[in-house]
Structure 1
Amino acid sequence: MESNFHRDFDLPWCKNLLRSDISIVEVPFQHPLRNDTPLNKGVSNTMFRQTLYTPDAIRAQINFKRPTTEADSIIPWEYCYLLSLGSGIDGKAGRAHGGFNALILDQMTGTVASMVSGSFAPATATMTVDYKAPIDTPGVVLCRSWAVERQGRKTWVKARIEDGRGNLLASAKSLFVDPRLERI
């Protein structure tokens, strides 16, 4: 995958991930300050647009899909974020707030649920988060997500936040429910 990377991704593990894996497909990143694209129509997402996409919080982001190696995945790919994080998300100095971890995991799993179901805005019904290790800030993390089950309007999705060595920092399993179709 060739792209103009943010300087925070100028780390050996990021370069290796992004340049050596030919199966990675970059997913266009919708500009956080634009709400007029077809993908963003009707979604405010001000938490990200106004609060998190700043030089002190989520400093840079690359979105991509790649083949999954997860045995429980019901689809052949996983969706990923590579995030450069600043100290504006800290709970304790030098560590991301646990609520930030949950927010990112919810965003990741919701994106995959939407892709799998074709629904524009599935709602989070439940999400279980397991915190394994602190996320150091400033720093770069890899977030991965994949679907594990689909029944009717329900989609179950898993996600992980990992460091550059593949160590698990936090994980989640979420259930999303598609909105009911309006009858005409």
Structure 2
Amino acid sequence: MTVEHVVPSIAEESVLKEEIVSEETLEQQILTFPIYQHFIDLYEEFTSTNKKTLDVVERLYPNLTGATLSGPHKIAYRSKTLYFIDDYHFQYNEITEPDDHDNYSITFLQLGDALSGHRGIVHGGLLATLLDELTCRVGFLNFESKRGVTANLNVNYKKPTKVDSWVCIKCTVLKKLGRKCWVKGDVYLIDETKKSFEECELLTACEVLIVEPKWVDQLKH
């Protein structure tokens, strides 16, 4: 059996768009999306009564997705993650079943054309990395140490995510028992016509098991 390695021509390799859309332009674009405005308004309302969420600090640098994979043609825009964590959960209670206390996060991203695996389609490994990172961020907040590690990540790719797409990743805590926390993550395709997740295509979904190890004090943010 002979395996042929095909080297693409220079013309085939030059698939990135020459035009670079600035982060400021992308920010102006997402401000017109009804679903984005919905969550901004919801966040302001939520944090008016759940003040502890306002103390959450994002740490993106140095970071694979916040530096190496960030920029024109890559993760061209990344919103501030909106955390909807009821003050109840900052008491670090056990979570054995879904309840009325919010415990999720929302992040909006624009994924550029340098992130492809198959041409025109965002690499599945990139989506898995984003899901791993974002589910862990909300999961960690349910541990008093605010730290942990991924023990298991199961990803289901429902539909291809095309490059230059706007997506929203929602991460929801499902359960927490002792040093273990289970979180699900969903990647939705969004645009200026969508007003709710019910109207959006679900592109990728995952469930992750996060563990706060006994050696957690050795972990650095």
TM-score (norm 1): 0.76
List gaps (5 residues or longer) in structure 2. 1-22, 48-53, 87-96, 191-198
| Cα displacement (A) at 1:50 | 3.3
In structure 2, what residue type is equivalent to 1:178?
E
Tell me, what secondary structure is at the counterpart of 1:102? helix
Question: Structure 1 pair 91/182, CA: closer, same or farther in 2 (3 Å)?
Answer: closer
Gapped regions of structure 1 (runs ≥ 5): 34-43
Q: For this pair of structures, how many residues does the alignment match?
A: 165
Aligned to 1:59: 76
In the TM superposition, what is the alpha-carbon distance from 1:167 to its structure 2 partner?
Answer: 0.9
**Larger radius of gyration between Structure 1 and Structure 2:** 2
When normalised by structure 2's length, the TM-score is 0.65
Do the aligned residues in 2 keep the contact of 1:9 with 1:140 (CA within 8 Å)?
A: no
1:152-171 to 2 correspondences below 5 Å: 152-164=178-190, 165-171=199-205
Query: Counterpart in 1 of 2:67?
Result: 50
Aligned ranges 1:41-120 → 2 under 5 Å: 44-45=62-63, 47-62=64-79, 63-66=81-84, 73=98, 75-120=101-146
C-alpha contact (below 8 Å) 2:159/2:203 kept by paired residues: yes
**Structure 1 residues 119 and 24, CA, compared in 2 at 3 Å: closer, same or farther?**
same
* Structure number having the greater strand percentage: 1
Instruction: Indicate conservation of the 8 Å contact 2:83/2:138, yes or no.
Output: no
Q: CA deviation at 1:67?
A: 7.9
Q: Which protein is richer in helix relative to its size? A: 2
Q: In the alignment, which residue of structure 2 is the partner of 1:16?
A: 34
Structure 1 residue runs of 4 or more that deviate by more than 3 Å after TM superposition: 9-14, 25-33, 72-75
Q: Which amino acid aligns with 1:57?
A: K
Give 3-state SS (helix, strand or coil) of 2:181's partner.
strand
- AA paired with 1:174? V
Percent identity between the two aligned chains: 22
Tell me the distance in 1 between the aligned counterparts of 2:209 and 2:152. Answer: 5
